[in-house]
Amino acid sequence: MKKKDLRSHEWFGREGKMGFIYRSWMRNQGIPDDGFDGRPVIGICNTWSELTPCNAHFRELAESVKKGVLEAGGFPLEFPITSLGETMMRPTAMLFRNLASMDAEETIRANPLDGVVLLCGCDKTTPSALMGAASVNLPTIVVSGGPMLNGKYQGGDIGSGTHVFKFSEDLRAGKMSPRQFAMAEACMSRSQGHCMTMGTASTMACMIEALGMTLPGGAAIPAADSRRKVFAQLAGRRIVEMVEEDLKISDIITREAVENAIVVNAGVGGSTNLVIHLTAIAGRVGVKIELDDFDKLGSKVPLLVNLLPSGKYLMEDFYYAGGLPVVINELRNMLHVNVMTANGKSMAENVAETECFNRDVIATVEKPVQEAAGIAVLRGNLAKNGAIIKPSAATQSLMVHKGKAVVFENIKDFHARVDDPMLEIDSDSVMVLKNVGPKGYPGMAEVGNMPLPKKILQQGITDMVRISDGRMSGTAFGTVVLHVSPESAIGGTLALVENGDMIELDVPNRKLHLDVDESELARRSTALSQTDGESARGYVKLYIDHVQQADQGADMDFLVGKSGSYVPKDNH
Binding span for ligand FES by CB under 6 A among 149-157, 194-202, 333-341, 447-455? 194-202
Reply yes or no: is the peptide bond before residue 147 cis, omega within 30 of 0: no
Phi, psi of 229 (to 5 degrees): -70, -40
The count of C-alpha atoms lying within 13 angstroms of the C-alpha of 95, restricted to the half-sphere facing its C-beta, is 20
Binding span for ligand FES by CB under 6 A among 164-172, 191-199, 239-247, 425-433? 191-199
Any contact of residue 87 with ligand FES (CB under 6 A)? yes
Nearer to ligand FES, 123 or 316 (CB): 123
Residue 395 vs residues 340, 388, 472: alpha-carbon distances, Å: 38, 15, 16
- Strand ordering across the sheet containing 465-468: 383-389, 376-380, 511-514, 502-506, 400-408, 430-433, 465-468, 480-481
The DSSP output letter for 514 is: E
* Nearest-approach distance from CB 545 to ligand FES, in angstroms: 28
Binding span for ligand FES by CB under 6 A among 195-203, 210-218, 302-310, 383-391? 195-203
Binding span for ligand FES by CB under 6 A among 192-200, 220-228, 369-377, 444-452? 192-200
Distance CA(330)–CA(264), nearest Å, equals 10
Give the contact letters, 538-557, x = binds to ligand FES (CB under 6 A), - = no. Answer: --------------------
Candidates 122, 262, 276, 378: give the one binding ligand FES (CB under 6 A).
Answer: 122
* Nearest-approach distance from CB 55 to ligand FES, in angstroms: 8
Candidates 6, 117, 141, 195: give the one binding ligand FES (CB under 6 A).
Answer: 195
* Nearest-approach distance from CB 148 to ligand FES, in angstroms: 9
The count of C-alpha atoms lying within 13 angstroms of the C-alpha of 346, restricted to the half-sphere facing its C-beta, is 11
Distance CA(421)–CA(195), nearest Å, equals 35
CB atoms under 10 Å from CB of 500, counted, come to 11
* Nearest-approach distance from CB 446 to ligand FES, in angstroms: 10
Nearer to ligand FES, 195 or 207 (CB): 195
* Nearest-approach distance from CB 380 to ligand FES, in angstroms: 32
DSSP string, 151-182: EEETTEEE-TTHHHHHHHHHHHTTSS-HHHHH
Reply yes or no: is the peptide bond before residue 325 cis, omega within 30 of 0: no
Any contact of residue 431 with ligand FES (CB under 6 A)? no
- 3-state SS, one letter per residue, for 50-111: CCCHHHCCHHHHHHHHHHHHHHCCCEEEEEECCCCCCCCCCCCHHHHHHHHHHHHHHHHHHC
Pairing of strands 511-514, 502-506: antiparallel
Distance CA(514)–CA(502), nearest Å, equals 6
Residue 220 vs residues 195, 228, 317, 514: alpha-carbon distances, Å: 11, 9, 9, 41
**Binding residues among 15-54 for ligand FES as defined by CB under 6 A:** 54
Q: Who contacts 353 (Cβ-Cβ below 8 Å, separation ≥6)?
A: none
Q: Give yes or no for a contact between 471 and 378, defined as CB atoms under 8 angstroms apart.
A: no
Any contact of residue 209 with ligand FES (CB under 6 A)? no
* Nearest-approach distance from CB 273 to ligand FES, in angstroms: 11
Binding span for ligand FES by CB under 6 A among 193-201, 318-326, 412-420, 428-436? 193-201
Any contact of residue 123 with ligand FES (CB under 6 A)? yes
Any contact of residue 219 with ligand FES (CB under 6 A)? no
- 3-state SS, one letter per residue, for 307-320: ECCCCCECHHHHHH
Nearer to ligand FES, 107 or 160 (CB): 160
For ligand FES (CB under 6 A), the number of binding residues is 10
Any contact of residue 127 with ligand FES (CB under 6 A)? no
Any contact of residue 194 with ligand FES (CB under 6 A)? yes
Nearer to ligand FES, 122 or 489 (CB): 122
* Nearest-approach distance from CB 51 to ligand FES, in angstroms: 11
Any contact of residue 86 with ligand FES (CB under 6 A)? yes
**Binding residues among 136-175 for ligand FES as defined by CB under 6 A:** 160
* Nearest-approach distance from CB 546 to ligand FES, in angstroms: 26
Closest to 222 measured CA to CA, from 201, 239, 207:
201
Nearer to ligand FES, 160 or 435 (CB): 160
Nearer to ligand FES, 52 or 429 (CB): 52
Any contact of residue 316 with ligand FES (CB under 6 A)? no
* Nearest-approach distance from CB 159 to ligand FES, in angstroms: 11
Site residues (vs ligand FES, CB under 6 A): 54, 86-87, 122-123, 160, 194-195, 199, 201
